[in-house]
Amino acid sequence: MAIARFPSIVIDCPEPAVLARFYGEMLDWPAKISEDWADVRADYGQRISFQQVADFRPPVWPDQEAPQQMHLDVTVDDLDTAEAAVLALGATKHRHQPGTTFRVFLDPAGHPFCLCAS
């Protein structure tokens, strides 16, 4: 039996509202925003939270000068269509692309995330 349910990932960042809006738009999940914390939540309960951190240092990937600490992989039906959509939301495509079935991007705070072909 599980000890807990509905796990949440909490991502450190300088501006929680910015990342909540970005990921909320990308995943089509509503955002709930407060001063130093924000969440996006699916109707089935899964959640991603964002907390404000003073002196935030974005990860440097694939270098390990400032480790990525975590990243999200999201599944998409079409890589080209999804790429255009996340770029329009404010993502940046990373110059280092180590695979062909996924693409690496940086969210507006610099965290790596991957669009993965379904």
115 close to 101: Cβ distance less than 8 angstroms:
no
Q: Rounded to whole angstroms, what are the CA distances from 62 to 8, 78, 104? A: 25, 25, 10
Q: pTM for the full model?
A: 0.79
Using DSSP bridges, classify how beta strands 92-93 and 102-106 pair: parallel, antiparallel or unpaired.
Answer: antiparallel
Q: Best-predicted range by mean pLDDT among 1-15, 49-63, 101-115? A: 101-115
110 close to 58: Cβ distance less than 8 angstroms:
yes
- CATH for 1-56 (3.90.930.60, 3.40.50.10320, 3.30.720.120, 3.40.50.1000): 3.30.720.120
- For the chain, residues classed under CATH 3.30.720.120 are 1-56
Sheet bearing 112-117, strands edge to edge: 72-76, 112-117, 102-106, 92-93
- For the chain, residues classed under CATH 3.10.180.10 are 57-118
- Indicate the pLDDT class of residue 97, thresholds 50, 70 and 90: very high
What is the structure's pLDDT at 3?
53
pLDDT of residue 23 exceeding 90: yes
The H or E element spanning position 26 is: helix 16-27
- Indicate the pLDDT class of residue 60, thresholds 50, 70 and 90: confident
Domain 57-118 has CATH 3.10.180.10: yes
